[in-house]
Structure 1
Amino acid sequence: MKLKKLVLQNIGVFVDRNEVNLDCDKPIILIGGMNGRGKTTILEAVLFALYGQYVGNLLGNSLKLTDYLYKISNTRGQNKDCYVKIEFEIQTEDTLQNYTVKRSWNAGLKNIRLQTEVCKNGLRDNTLSQNWDMFIEEILPHAIAPFFFFDGEKIAELASSENDEQIGNSIKGLLGIDVIDRLIQDLEVVENRKEKEIKNNLYSTELAMVNQQSEDINRLIIKLNQEIKSNQKKSEILRLRLKELEENYSIIGGSYAEKRNYTEKEYQTFQEKKKKIDNDLVELAMGDLPLILCKDLLYSIFERVQEEREQKELHLLAQRLPLIYEEFCSKNNSIENIASFLNFVKTKATNETYIYKFEDDAYFRLKKLNKSFKSSCSKALTLIEEKRKIEKKLEDLENYLLIKVDDKQVNSLFQIIKDKTAEKAIIDERIVQENGELEKSLQQLKTINNNKDRLLNKVVEGYENSDEAKRIINYIQKQIGLLKKYKLEVQKLKVKELSQQMTNCFKNLIAKEGLINDIIINSETLSFTYYNSEGQKVNKMALSAGEKQLLVIAMLWALAICSKVEFPLVIDTPLARLDSEHRNSLIRNYFPYASKQVIILSTDQEITDDDYSQIKPFVGREFTLEYQEDEKKSIITDGYFGRT
C-alpha cells in the first residue's frame, strides 16, 4: 500500500481545503512544523480516513464519534463542510488498484452524521462505501495498525513502562490471539448459561461456591489491574514532576549548595599547594638563585680567577725551574735550548697585580655556582608556572564560592524533592506488590477454574435427564481446551521468529555492541526477557531513556516486518526525546529501510542540518506547516524549514 494524496478541509488548525501530495519515488517524506502547527492532526487524519469510528481505539481515547467529530472540526472556514480524503494504491498479484476514501460531515448541523464515500479506480463503489470498515480490516487490521502509525509520546510511554503488556497485546493482535481469547470468553458465557439450566444436582452447592469464588477472584483481578494502572499513572506523573523539580533545583543553585562544602575543601587544598610553592620559591631565593641577577659578572670573575690561578702557577713554576735547571746543568753539557726555554717561561709569568686572590675552596664554589644556575632557574620557572595555574584555579573557586544561594529556598525545594521521591518509591513498591498479588490471584483463578471443570464433569456425568446440557457443556469444554492448545501452538510457532527479528532490529539501531544480545519472548505469557552478550539477564529499566525508546521502536519494526503487510509508516515527532547519537542511529538505520513509504512529522529541532544532509538522499518530498497568526490557521508549503 502506498499513500498518494491527503486532503483536509476544516480539520484541526487547517481551514478550508489543504492538500498534501505524497506521491514520490523515494521512501521518505518530511513534514516539518513547530508545536501546535498540525503534525498530530495529519497523523490522526490518516487514521480517521482509514478506520473511521474505530479511530478512538487507536488513539487511546474514549470519545464518542460525534464528540470526536466536534473536537476536530474547524468552523472558521467559508463553509461548515468538513472532510478528510485519502488516496492510495494497493498492488495485488497482477494489478494495481487505486482507492480514494472520503469521510465527511457538516459541523454546522446539530446532529452530525458521518458519511463515507469510497472510489475504486476513479469510480464510486457503493459496496465498498457501505462496508469499508470490513474491507480495511482485511488489508490492515486495526489491531496491528499501531505498528505503522505512532508518535514519539507513545514510544516514550511504552519505553517508560516497567512491563511489556502493551507490546504483548500487540503480538496477540498480530497473531490473531485476541480473536481466540474472545472466542474462549464467548464459549465460557454459553457454558455458564448451561450450568444454570442444570437444577437440583448433587453438586449445586459446590458449583455455586466455585462460581462465587471465581466471581470474587475476577473482581479482585479487575480491581488489581485498575489499581496497577492508576499507580503507574501516578508514578509517571511523579517522575515528570520530579524531573521538573530537579531542573528548578539546579536553576536556583541546588547543585551548587550540594557542592559548596567540597568546593571549600578544594579551595583549601589549592591554598596549601600555593603556600608550599611559595615556601619552595623562598628557599630558592635564600640560596644561590638571586646571584643569577649578576650571572654575567660572576662569569667574568670566574674567568679572571682562572687567569690569576694560571699566573700563580706560572710564577711558582718560574721559581722552581732554576733549581731544576742547575741540577740539569750539572749533568748535561748542552744547555742552549734549555736557557731559551727558561727565558720564555719567565716572560709568560707577568708581574700583573692579583685582584681576587681566591683560595681553592672559593674557586671551586664559584665554578659549581655557574653550573647550578641552569637547574635552579628551571626549577624556579616550573614552580612559577605551577603557581600561576593554581592561582587561576583559586580565582575560579573564589568566583564559585561568591555565588549567593538562597539556602532556605534550596533546602525547601530539596525537601520537596525528597518527599516526592519517597512518595514515588512507595507507589513503585505498591505496584510491585500489586503485580505479585495479581500473579497470585491469576494462579488462584486457574486453580478455581480447574476445580470448576472437575465439578462440571461430575455434574454432566451425574444427570441422565440433562443430555442436551451435558452434550453442550462437554463440547464447550473440549473446544475451549482445543482453542487454548491451538493458542499456545500458534504462539510457540511465531514467537521464536518474532524474538529473532526483534533482536536483529535492535542490534541495527543500537551503537553499543552486546548491550542486548538476545530478546526472548515467553511463548505462553508473551513476556520478554533480555540477555547481554555474556548470557546475563538485562533489566530493561536499567537502560537509558534513549536505549529504551530504541528498544520499543525495534519491537514495533519487527512486528511490522512479521505482519508481512506492506504499509506506509507514519511517525509523529519520533526524535524529540532522543540524544544526537540515538537520533543519528534512527536516521541512518531505520527511516530509510523501515518501509517503502515513511512519513516523518517533526519539529525543527529534531532533524539538525547534519541529520538533514544524511537523510536527504532518501527524501522524495518535503513540506512545512506554517501558522498564520492573523487568520489563526496553518497552511502547507513546500520545503523543509527552508533547508536545501
Structure 2
Amino acid sequence: MSLVWCLYGRQMIDVDDIYEKEIKEQGGYGSYVKSSLNRQAQAKGDTSFHVAITITGTVIPELPAKEIVIKRSYSTVKGIDTLQILVDGEETDLIKEELRDKEIAGEEMFIREFIMPIEIAKFFLFDAEKIVNLAENTSLEQRKKLSIAYSEILGIKKYEDIKGEIETLRDRLKQSSANPKDKQLLNTLKTEVENIEVEVDSANKEIVLLKETKAQLSYQSEQLRDKLVRAGNTVTEEGYQALKKEAKDTSDALELLQNDFRDSFEKIPFAIAGGRLLEVAQQVEDETSYKSAQQGQEQVDQRTDLVLTDLLSAERTLKEVLPASVHRFYHDTVKTLIKKHFFAETPDLPEDFKLLHDFSLSDT
C-alpha cells in the first residue's frame, strides 16, 4: 500500500480493486490515507507523514540522473498530499512544467511516463490471488484496462504515439493548404472543441469531488446506522458484531446462490415447459404400452382363429346343421377363454387411442 500510494496517490484506485473498496469503506480517500498515520506518532501530536522511494540506475535520455527520489507527503490538518521528485537531490523545472498535463501535475506525469505507467502497475503491485483474477476477468471494462496495460508492456503505445504525431502533422499540413473560408470554419470548430474540453474537464473534476463526497456520506451513514441499532436495541456489542458477521455471511451466500441461478439460465426453458414435457413422457409411455397390447391382441386373434378353424372342421363331421347363433356363441366364448387362460396379462386396447409420436425403442 505504501508503494502504491507513494507512486499514484489519489489514483491508486486504478491499480487494484481492493484499494477502491477500502477507500469507499473508510469514507473516502482523505479518511483512508489519514488512518495510515502511526497511532503512537499521532498521540505525540504528529500530523503528517510521508513515503519516499529512491531509484538508482535509471536510463532516461531526456533526464540523465544517478538517483531519483519520489516522495509523497500527507498532512492530516490540511487534508492534502504533496508529491515531490528530486533528481540527484534537486527539483527540476522539466518535471514541474514541461510534463504538466491539463488534469495531471508534472510530477504525476513523470511517474507515469518514465517510472511505471499506472496501467501496468497491476502486474507489479498485487496480492498473490490477483493473477488469478486477471486470468479470469470477464467484464468489458477489465478487458479494456488489460488491453491498455499490454500495449504499455509490449511497447505498442510508443508506436501508437508516433502514429498520432504523424496524423497530427498531416492534419497541420492540410490546414496550412486550406482556403481562407475553410480555415475560418476550422478555427471556429477548434474554439468550440476547446470550450467543450474545458466543460468536460470541469465535469470530470466535479465527478471526482462528488464521488469523494458520496463515499464520505456513505461512511457516515453506515456509522450512524450502527449507532442507531446499538442505541435502540439491548443487544450486546459481541451480539451486534455476531449479527453483522451473520449479515455478511448471508450476503456472501446470496451472491453464491445468484451465481448458481445465473448458471441455471439455460435450464429455465425446460422448467417453464415442464408440464408439456411430462405430457410427452406420459404419451410415449402410453404408446409403448399400446404397442405391447397390440402385439398381445394379435396373438389372441391368431390363436382364436386356429381354434375356430379346428372347431369348424370338427363340425363338418356332424350330421345335423348348427344354427348361426351357436356359431357366434362358440366364436365369442372361445376368444374370451383363450385370452383368459393364455393371455390374461395382455390389456384391452382402448378404442379411441391415437399414436402421436410412434418412437422407436432407442428414441423412447
TM range (shorter): 0.3 to 0.5
Alignment TM-score, normalising by the size of structure 1: 0.21
**Comparing both chains, which one has the higher relative contact order based on Cα–Cα distances under 8 Å and sequence gaps of 6 or more?**
1
Q: Which is greater in Rg?
A: 1
Provide the TM-score with structure 2 as the length reference.
Answer: 0.35
